[in-house]
Amino acid sequence: MKRREFITLLGGAAAWPLGARAQQPDRMRGIGFWVGESESNPNAQRRVGEFKQGLQDLNWREGHNIKIEYRWAILNPDRIRDDAANLVALDPDVIVTTGAPTVAALLQATRSIPIVFTFVTDPVRDGFVESLSHPGGNITGFTIFEHTMAGKWLGLLKEAAPHITRVAVIQNPEHPAWPTYLNAIATVAPSVGVQVTPTPVHDAAEIEQAISAFAGEPNGGLIVLPSGITVNYRDQVIATALQHRIPAIYPERVFAESGGLLSYGVVQSEMYRLAAAYADRILKGSKPSELPVQFATTFELIINLKTAKALGLEIPPQLLARADEVIE
C-alpha cells in the first residue's frame, strides 16, 4: 500500500492582536493536553511521547519554557464536563484534545482559549468549526478521514475473509459519527454481498453479549469503529471475537498489536506531531480561526498473521503485499 503524506498547511497566519499573551513571550507557557486514553495505557503514553517530541523539535521543552497539564480519557460524560471546566480554569495558552466528546465539553467551557483537536470525524457537522478552510472561533485541528473511509474497512475485511456474509458494526451509539460511519459501510455492503447489523455497545458486558449473540449464526465478521468505548475496551472486543472465531477489522494499529486481525487507520504519530506544530503556531501568536482544519491522508494497514492462523484464515498474497506491517 502506497503511503501518502499529510497535506500540511502550516503557512502564514495572522498574529493575535497585541494582548496579555502576546506581551509575555518569555514567561512559561501553558498547554492543556487531553489524551484520548487512560494514563496507564501504553498507547496513551505513545501519544504523549509523539506530541512532546513534536514540541521539542520546535524548541519547546517541558519544564523549561512550557508546562503541560495532562488529562486522561474517561467514559463518564459528567466527568468529562468537570475535567473540561477544571482544565479551562487553569487558563492555559492552548488546549490540545482528542475526540468529539472532549471537544464539545471544552467549547461549552470556553470560547476564548485556543483549542487544537485531533481524531474528530466531522467538525463542521458537529458544529465545532464554521468551515474546514476558515474554522472561525477559538478552535481548529485535524480530522481523522473522509466518510468514505468507513467503506474501506468492509472491503479490507471481505478481502481477508471472503467467506463472510454478515458484519456487525460495533460502536458507541452516543458517538456523533456513528450514523455517518454506518451509512458509508451500508453503501458498500451490497457490492460485496454482506448484510450489515448495527451493534451499539456501552461497556464490557454489552460487548461480550453482543458479539456472542452475533456469533450464533455462521459467516460473520466485525467492524469495530473508533470511539473511547471501543478503544478502552479493546482487549474485551478482541478476546471475544477470537473466542468465537470471528474475523474483525479495527480502526487503530494498537488493536492489531493487541491481537486483532486487521487494523486500518491514521498514522497517529504524524497527527500528534502536526498537533504540536499547530500548538507552536498558536503559542507564537497565530489565531486558530485562521489555521485550516486538515484531513489525515497518511494511513497504515496492519495484519496480524498469528491471529489469522488462529482463525484458520489464509491472507491473500495481494493483501499482504499492501500491508505496512505484518505481525507474525
Q: Which residues contact 18 (CB under 8 A, 6 or more apart)?
A: none
Are 110 and 258 found together in one domain? no
Structural domain includes residue 4: no
- Do residues 121 and 38 touch, judged by C-beta distance below 8 A? no
Predicted pLDDT at 19: 38
Structural domain includes residue 239: yes
- Do residues 68 and 88 touch, judged by C-beta distance below 8 A? no
H-state helical runs in the chain = 42-57, 77-89, 100-109, 149-160, 178-192, 204-214, 228-232, 234-243, 253-257, 268-283, 305-310, 317-322
Predicted pLDDT at 23: 40
Query: Using only C-alpha atoms, what is the Rg of the chain?
Result: 20
- In the chain, which stretches have pLDDT less than 70? 1-26, 75, 145-147
Predicted pLDDT at 106: 96
Predicted pLDDT at 8: 38
Q: 70: which strand partners?
A: 33
**What are the CA-CA distances from residue 9 to residues 134, 199, 262 (Å)?**
12, 38, 31
Are 221 and 161 found together in one domain? yes
Burial of 298 (0-12, 13-18, 19+ CB in 10 A): middle
Structural domain includes residue 12: no
Are 64 and 48 found together in one domain? yes
Structural domain includes residue 121: yes
Are 275 and 261 found together in one domain? no
Structural domain includes residue 169: yes
Residue 179 is part of a domain; what is its CATH number? 3.40.50.2300
Are 171 and 308 found together in one domain? yes
Predicted pLDDT at 74: 74
Please identify which residue in the block is written with the cell numbers 492543556: 32
pTM of the complete model: 0.82
Are 191 and 294 found together in one domain? no
- Domain with 242, as residue range(s), is 149-265+300-327
Are 183 and 256 found together in one domain? yes
Predicted pLDDT at 145: 62
Predicted pLDDT at 178: 84
Q: What is the pLDDT of residues 35-79, one digit of tens each?
A: 877 888 778 888 899 999 999 999 999 999 999 999 987 767 788
Predicted pLDDT at 20: 39
Are 274 and 210 found together in one domain? no
Are 171 and 141 found together in one domain? no
Predicted pLDDT at 136: 93
Count of domains forming the chain: 2
Q: What is the pLDDT of residues 145-172, one digit of tens each?
A: 666 778 999 999 999 999 999 999 999 8
Predicted pLDDT at 11: 40
Are 224 and 305 found together in one domain? yes
Predicted pLDDT at 78: 81
Are 275 and 318 found together in one domain? no
